[in-house]
């Protein structure tokens, strides 16, 4: 005996036309297999609908808030380590050329020590020269730049600073606060 | 869930959604309160373990929180949320790499919800829960999700298709197959009474 389309009608969810309904009723009265399928499906649906929706243990929202905070803190730490790592890597890359040049002059531990002293002394002198230059420029600034110009320069510097901080916030730290 | 969903919308879900999309955590907390039960229930029915269900539900809400800016307000929030939870649970089940009837190998479910009813009602509820667990345990992850979304969340075929990224035809086919598998499993587990010519349940079947 063919069980089609009766099996599809039993298992399907579409409403049946009156003619189909009568045909199915007639078939179920004769076909033990389809009748059993129909009865067991009814039992299955009763079982599923009797089993109520389960709720989580009380305090689910509070646990979620804690988890969100923990995740943000983790993301913040990861981001800080990433920034630290990138800065460190950049510093290492920048230090490679002078290091290579310095190492080229080394022939023994004593020459290395002497070279390091010379370089440190050179750096100290360069810093002092730079400091003198900045002081001189600062003292002669009123003669070169008008007060309005100085104000405009300061405002421009401030604006650039704000743009920098905003950009940093938007593209780095804000992601952490959003948990993204 | 249709009734409860409507109630939630009445309570100002649209306002919470808008504020949550702007990053307001308090508004999202309201959504967590409103939707914790359907999300947890879905995870519980899918995974069959209270601890895993709690973890999956929390992760689903976290994913939703992170994705709030991408949420399209034209779409039903509950369908979107249940979609996230369904995909998360399906991934979890696939990671387990256990046979599809693995729910039966888990410890019996713990009582975590609704401890209010008396002993008799509790026993009945527990029996129904165990029977439902056994039936769902026969199904593969995606078929299980289709059945849970249909029978507990009362989503339409179109909504289930939307939630599970399937076609409507695929949902109908999966539901058909799942119903047949569960009916056959029921027949195997429950020795059938003598056939009475199909008269007993003909009326309810048609």
Q: Check if CATH label 1.10.3720.10 holds for domain B2-98+118-190.
A: no
Q: What is the pLDDT along chain B (206 residues), one digit of tens a residue?
A: 444 444 445 567 888 888 898 888 899 999 999 999 999 999 999 998 899 999 999 999 999 999 998 898 888 899 999 999 999 999 999 887 655 444 555 444 444 444 456 677 777 778 878 888 888 988 999 999 999 999 999 899 999 999 999 999 999 999 999 999 999 998 888 866 544 544 444 444 44
d(CA B43, CA B90): 10
d(CA B128, CA B111): 13
Predicted confidence at residue B31, as pLDDT, reads 93
Residues 112-131 of B with CB under 8 A from A: 112-114, 125, 128-129, 131
Predicted confidence at residue A33, as pLDDT, reads 84
Token pair 């400091």 is at which residue?
Answer: A131
Q: Is B197 left (phi over 0), alpha (psi -120 to 50) or beta?
A: left
Q: Two tokens at B42? A: 């879905």
CA distances from B22 to A161, B15, B28, B71, B200 (A): 27, 11, 10, 11, 57
Question: Smallest Cβ distance to A54: which of B40, B66, B147?
Answer: B40
Residues 58-77 of B with CB under 8 A from A: 58, 61-62, 65-66
Question: Smallest Cβ distance to A38: which of B1, B61, B201?
Answer: B201
Q: Two tokens at A115? A: 């070279």
CA distances from B116 to A91, B31, B113, B127, B196 (A): 64, 25, 9, 16, 40
Return the closest-CA partner of residue B98 out of B142, B159, B141: B141
Predicted confidence at residue B198, as pLDDT, reads 46
Is the Cβ pair B198, A52 closer than 8 Å?
no
pTM of the predicted model over 0.80: no
Nearest CA in chain B to A41: B183
CA distances from A27 to A14, A48, B30, B116 (A): 18, 26, 52, 45
- pLDDT band at residue A110, thresholds of 50, 70 and 90? confident
**Closest Cα in chain A, distance from residue B10 (Å):** 21
Is the Cβ pair A67, B62 closer than 8 Å?
yes
With beta carbons less than 8 A apart as the criterion, state whether B183 and A40 touch: yes
Q: Two tokens at B53? A: 């269900």
**Closest Cα in chain B, distance from residue A72 (Å):** 11
d(CA A62, CA A8): 47
List chain A residues with CB under 8 Å of B48: none
Nearest CA in chain B to A49: B151
Q: Give the residue from A15, A21, A56 with the most B CB atoms within 10 Å of its CB, the best one to mutate.
A: A56
Cβ-based neighbour number of residue B73 at 10 Å: 11
d(CA B189, CA A180): 48
End-to-end Cα separation, chain B, in angstroms: 25
Is the Cβ pair B198, A30 closer than 8 Å?
yes
Is the Cβ pair B40, A30 closer than 8 Å?
no
Token pair 């080394």 is at which residue?
Answer: A106
pLDDT (tens digit, 9 = 90+) per residue, A40-87? 899 899 888 888 888 999 999 999 999 999 988 888 888 888 888 898
- Reply yes or no on whether the pLDDT at A179 is more than 50: no
Q: Two tokens at B111? A: 């009582």
What value does the CA radius of gyration of chain B take, rounded to a whole number of Å? 19
Q: Give the residue from A14, A34, A41, A44 with the most B CB atoms within 10 Å of its CB, the best one to mutate.
A: A44
Question: Smallest Cβ distance to A38: which of B1, B182, B205?
Answer: B205
CA distances from B155 to B80, B147, B205 (A): 12, 10, 22
With beta carbons less than 8 A apart as the criterion, state whether A51 and B131 touch: yes
């Amino acid at each position: 005996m063919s069980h089609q389309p009766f099996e599809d009608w039993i298992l399907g969810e579409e409403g049946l036309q009156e003619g189909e309904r009568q045909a199915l009723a007639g078939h179920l009265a004769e076909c033990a297999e389809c009748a059993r399928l129909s009865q067991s499906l009814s039992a299955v649906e009763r079982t599923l609908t009797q089993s109520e929706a389960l709720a989580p243990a009380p305090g689910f929202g509070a646990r979620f808030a804690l988890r969100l905070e923990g995740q943000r803190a983790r993301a913040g730490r990861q981001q800080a380590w990433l920034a630290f790592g990138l800065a460190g890597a950049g510093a290492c890359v920048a230090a490679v050329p002078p290091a290579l040049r310095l190492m080229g002059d080394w022939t023994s531990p004593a020459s290395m020590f002497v070279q390091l002293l010379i370089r440190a002394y050179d750096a100290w002198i360069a810093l002092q020269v730079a400091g003198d230059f900045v002081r001189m420029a600062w003292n002669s600034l009123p003669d070169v730049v008008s007060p309005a110009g100085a104000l405009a320069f300061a405002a421009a510097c401030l604006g650039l600073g704000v743009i920098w901080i905003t950009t940093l916030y938007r593209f780095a730290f804000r992601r952490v606060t959003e948990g993204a | 869930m249709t009734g409860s969903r409507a109630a939630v919308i009445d309570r100002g879900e649209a306002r919470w959604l808008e504020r949550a999309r702007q990053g307001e955590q308090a508004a999202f907390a309201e959504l967590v309160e409103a939707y914790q039960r359907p999300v947890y229930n879905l995870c519980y029915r899918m995974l069959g373990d209270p601890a895993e269900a709690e973890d999956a539900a929390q992760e689903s809400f976290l994913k939703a929180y992170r994705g709030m800016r991408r949420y399209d307000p034209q779409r039903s929030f509950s369908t979107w949320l249940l979609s996230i939870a369904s995909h998360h649970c399906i991934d979890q089940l696939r990671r387990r790499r256990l046979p599809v009837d693995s729910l039966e190998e888990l410890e019996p479910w713990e009582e975590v919800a609704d401890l209010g009813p008396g002993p008799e009602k509790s026993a009945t509820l527990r029996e129904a829960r165990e029977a439902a667990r056994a039936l769902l345990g026969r199904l593969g992850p995606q078929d299980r999700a289709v059945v849970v979304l249909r029978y507990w969340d009362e989503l339409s075929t179109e909504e289930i298709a939307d939630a599970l990224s399937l076609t409507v035809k695929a949902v109908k086919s999966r539901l058909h197959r799942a119903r047949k598998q569960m009916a056959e499993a029921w027949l195997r587990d429950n020795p059938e009474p003598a056939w009475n010519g199909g008269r007993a349940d003909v009326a309810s079947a048609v």
